[in-house]
């Protein structure tokens, strides 16, 4: 079966997709809408039956009403939408008792007519019930007519020890081939494009190294605060929420060596290798911030700081902003700073990678030439552009920054890009683990960040205050500057 990984899709075999935590936020905002879009576009095997499971006693009608605002149903899709909900069922039960899972299993068996049927379980659940649920799934609900696959949402533990405990627990129940640890950033178009960009173009790969690149900046910014979910966010903080997973995943794709093939495990082997070359993160290479309200703002939300959220514990030192410099100790990247930056309550929404090249050597333009930069914009508005110098058009011999521009909205006008979750859930049906996080990758990610996280908690390190709606703490800009990243502020993008 191994050589078929990622290509084997049983279109005509019954599949059961079970959502555990079906009454929760993630299920109604992401999972059910994604399943509906895949069903609408005829991308799922036929027949696929959907079974929700949670503690709340819900009818399918009530579940449908909860999900409806997020389903984006067009007027000509009404019939197909009815068809989708007819394939949905719901079982209410506890997460910690055998009888409930027996009931769930009996329900599943009703839809497994014929010789073969496959089961996919999506665990949209709080970590507290994780161990008992996975144990019952293994002992009671594993399919005996086909394969069983488990999709797991972060947090994958809280630090190296809890993550290892969770991994060991899962490994005692399921094989690594059955486990799909989802990081939705790996489903995003431009993140998936990194492989093609790097290894499918002669023009980039030879310069992708310390001799040409001065620094790499990977940014994730949100223009809103915790929006009443501060209590949940406070348990994790921005490093666990975004940096240790999404940003580090992007870093490994930007920095890894060329894999032996496009087979999922060859790719993941290279990602692990590059993470192994990164030392544990030290506090002196990190800037932590926490947003405070801007009293002059018009938006009432912007007037409130993180600590004004009633669900956040008083005096919390949880960072809502972090900037960290990582170094990769290998031949390709020795000495090149990888700057990871993420935060809430900032001036804009964006996620991007900036690869900044060294200054031109043997400069004959009196320092007027600015650095080349390759920008891979993950969201919003997928784009890839290269900033370069040209002579200003006209009679004078001045120079200016311009770009080679691939903005998806212009180049691929009427194309609807799939949502990250659509792509990843479809990957699970196909058995492709390329865009999921392997156990050893997770282990390395926690190794890099755990000592820092423990130090912040133990020494109660106070983050620097920054105003809601700003660029974040000035100290982060200074740190980027000291790590060979130059911000000119002179480049102007001209809308086509």
Q: Where in the sequence numbering do the catalytic residues fall?
A: 246
Instruction: Tell me the three state secondary structure of residue 53.
Output: strand
Give kind and range of the element (H or E) at residue 37: helix 32-40
Rounded-to-integer distance, Cα 381 and Cα 270, Å: 29
Number of Cβ within 10 Å of residue 435's Cβ equals 24
- Helical H segments across 321-467, by residue range: 408-411, 420-430, 439-458
- The dihedrals phi and psi of 474, each to the nearest 5 degrees, come to -60, -30
Cis omega before residue 155 (within 30°)?
yes
Rounded-to-integer distance, Cα 347 and Cα 340, Å: 17
The number of CA neighbours under 13 Å toward the Cβ of 159 is 10
Rounded-to-integer distance, Cα 34 and Cα 217, Å: 31
Give kind and range of the element (H or E) at residue 165: helix 160-173
Q: Quick one: DSSP state of residue 215?
A: E
Rounded-to-integer distance, Cα 174 and Cα 426, Å: 20
Dmax over CA atoms of the chain, in Å, equals 83
In degrees, rounded to 5, the angle at the alpha carbon of residue 422 between the alpha carbons of residues 419 and 428 is 145
- Residue 118 β-bridge partners: 15
In degrees, rounded to 5, the angle at the alpha carbon of residue 446 between the alpha carbons of residues 168 and 129 is 50
Rounded-to-integer distance, Cα 117 and Cα 135, Å: 21
Rounded-to-integer distance, Cα 226 and Cα 206, Å: 42
For residue 157, is it left (φ>0), alpha (ψ between -120 and 50) or beta?
left
- The dihedrals phi and psi of 409, each to the nearest 5 degrees, come to -65, -25
Rounded-to-integer distance, Cα 190 and Cα 5, Å: 23
The number of CA neighbours under 13 Å toward the Cβ of 77 is 13
Residue 322 exposed, middle or buried by CB count within 10 Å (0-12, 13-18, 19+): buried
Instruction: Please choose, from the candidates 188, 183, 181, the residue with its C-alpha nearest in 3D space to the C-alpha of residue 248.
Output: 183
């Amino acid at each position: 079966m191994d050589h078929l990984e990622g290509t084997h899709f049983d279109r005509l075999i019954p599949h059961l997709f079970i959502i555990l935590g079906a009454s929760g936020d993630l299920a109604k905002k992401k999972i059910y809408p994604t399943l509906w879009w895949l069903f609408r576009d005829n991308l799922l095997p036929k027949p696929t039956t959907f079974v929700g499971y949670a503690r709340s006693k819900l009818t399918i009608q009530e579940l449908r009403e909860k999900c409806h605002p997020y389903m984006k149903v067009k007027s000509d899709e009404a019939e197909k939408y009815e068809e989708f909900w007819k394939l949905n069922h719901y079982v209410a039960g506890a997460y910690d008792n055998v009888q409930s899972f027996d009931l769930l299993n009996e329900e599943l068996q009703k839809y497994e007519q014929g010789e073969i049927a496959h089961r996919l379980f999506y665990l949209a659940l709080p970590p507290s019930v994780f161990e008992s649920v996975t144990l019952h799934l293994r002992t009671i609900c594993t399919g005996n007519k086909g394969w069983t696959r488990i999709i797991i949402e972060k947090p994958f533990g809280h630090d190296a020890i809890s993550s290892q405990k969770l991994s060991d627990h899962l490994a005692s129940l399921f094989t690594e081939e059955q486990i799909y640890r989802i990081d939705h950033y790996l489903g995003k178009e431009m993140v998936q494009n990194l492989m093609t960009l790097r290894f499918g173009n002669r023009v980039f790969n030879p310069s992708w190294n310390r001799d040409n690149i001065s620094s790499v900046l990977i940014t994730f910014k949100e223009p809103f605060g915790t929006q009443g979910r501060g209590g949940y966010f406070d348990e994790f903080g921005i490093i666990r929420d975004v940096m240790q997973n999404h940003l580090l995943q992007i870093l490994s794709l930007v920095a890894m060596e060329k894999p032996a093939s496009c087979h999922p495990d060859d790719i993941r082997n290279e990602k692990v290798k590059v993470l192994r070359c990164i030392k544990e993160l030290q506090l002196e290479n990190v800037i932590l911030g926490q947003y405070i309200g801007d009293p002059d703002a018009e938006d009432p939300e912007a007037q409130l700081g993180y600590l004004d959220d009633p669900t956040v514990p008083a005096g919390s030192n949880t960072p809502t902003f972090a900037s960290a410099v990582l170094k990769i100790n290998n031949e390709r990247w020795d000495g090149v700073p990888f700057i990871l930056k993420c935060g809430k309550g900032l001036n804009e929404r964006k996620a991007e990678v900036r690869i900044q090249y060294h200054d031109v050597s043997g400069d004959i333009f009196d320092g007027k030439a600015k650095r080349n930069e390759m920008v891979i914009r993950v969201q919003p508005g997928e784009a890839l552009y290269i900033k370069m110098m040209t002579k200003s058009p006209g009679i004078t011999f001045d120079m200016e920054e311009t770009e080679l521009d691939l903005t998806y909205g212009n180049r691929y006008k009427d194309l609807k890009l799939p949502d990250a979750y659509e792509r990843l859930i479809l990957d699970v049906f196909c058995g492709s683990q390329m865009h999921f996080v392997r156990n050893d990758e997770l282990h390395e990610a926690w190794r890099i960040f755990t000592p820092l996280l423990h130090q912040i908690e133990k020494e109660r390190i106070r983050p620097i205050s920054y105003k809601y709606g700003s660029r974040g703490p000035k100290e982060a800009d200074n740190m980027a500057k000291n790590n060979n990243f130059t911000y000119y502020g002179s480049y102007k993008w001209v809308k086509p």
